[in-house]
Amino acid sequence: MLVALSLGAVTATAACGSEEPSSASAAASPSAVAVAASPSSAPAALSITDPWVKTAKKGMTAAFGTLVNNSDSDVTVIAGSTPVAPMVELHEVVESKGKMVMRPKKGGFVVPAHGTHVLQPGGDHIMVMDVPAEIKPGSEVPFTLELQGGGTYTFTALGKDFAGAKENYQPGADMGGMG
């Protein structure tokens, strides 16, 4: 069962050089989530259901789940980060020259007002690059997403083994005929 838990709104300060308050942490369950901070007068309520990250020895992997927007405005995720890797990109899988390939998603992920945006193998995902150490099953991996307009959203994804459709998480990689 997918569960989204909104832990509360965090208001960010729009002043230059000021420090944003940190989002609440989801300690109880990897599927529990925090709420995004936004410099607008009404913070965007972003959450994620069933966040997980594919286990990996090292190198590249990806994170998945369903982003949920409970606000009256679209929310755009423009970047991401995690302490387990020096590089994170937002990626999509598209057809190119008859093959399914992975590439950075221009403009980020738009989560429509009162809607969802699915992050899944063979589709949009959060690419985690240059992972120096193993991500094991059951590992709790923290992520911070940057939102258009200056807010952030944090969540924890659970490490999970996944053979799936034989995805190869390398930029421009052939995705094995997925469609």
Q: pLDDT category, 45, cuts 50, 70, 90?
A: confident
Domain spans, the chain: 46-160
Higher pLDDT, 105 or 23: 105
| CATH code that applies to domain 46-160 | 2.60.40.1890
Which structure tokens are listed for 38?
Answer: 């936004």
Residue 14 pLDDT > 80: no
- Residue 6 backbone phi and psi in degrees, to 5: -90, 115
What DSSP character marks residue 23?
Answer: P
Report yes or no: 108 and 119 within 8 Å, Cβ to Cβ: no
CA-closest candidate to residue 68, choices 138, 3, 133: 3
Give the model's pLDDT for residue 31: 39
Q: pLDDT category, 169, cuts 50, 70, 90?
A: low
Residues 6+ away with beta carbon under 8 Å from 47:
4, 5, 6, 33, 34, 35, 67, 68, 70, 155
Tell me the average pLDDT of the chain: 77
Residue 99 pLDDT > 80: yes
> Would you call 144 helix, strand, or coil by DSSP?
strand
Rounded-to-integer distance, Cα 97 and Cα 134, Å: 34
Which structure tokens are listed for 124?
Answer: 């949009």
Q: What is the pTM of this model?
A: 0.71
Q: pLDDT category, 166, cuts 50, 70, 90?
A: low
What DSSP character marks residue 81?
Answer: E
Q: How many other β-carbons are positioned within 10 Å of the β-carbon of residue 140?
A: 13
Residue 121 pLDDT > 80: yes
Q: What percent of the chain has pLDDT over 90?
A: 64
Residue 42 pLDDT > 50: no
Residue 24 pLDDT > 60: no
Average pLDDT (145-162) is 95
Q: What is the DSSP string of 20-64?
A: PPPPPP--S-TT-B---EESSSS---EEEEEEEEE-BSSEEEEEE
Would you call 163 exposed, middle or buried from its count of C-beta atoms within 10 A (0-12, 13-18, 19+)? exposed
Report yes or no: 172 and 103 within 8 Å, Cβ to Cβ: yes
CA-closest candidate to residue 31, choices 1, 9, 51, 6: 51
Give the model's pLDDT for residue 40: 41
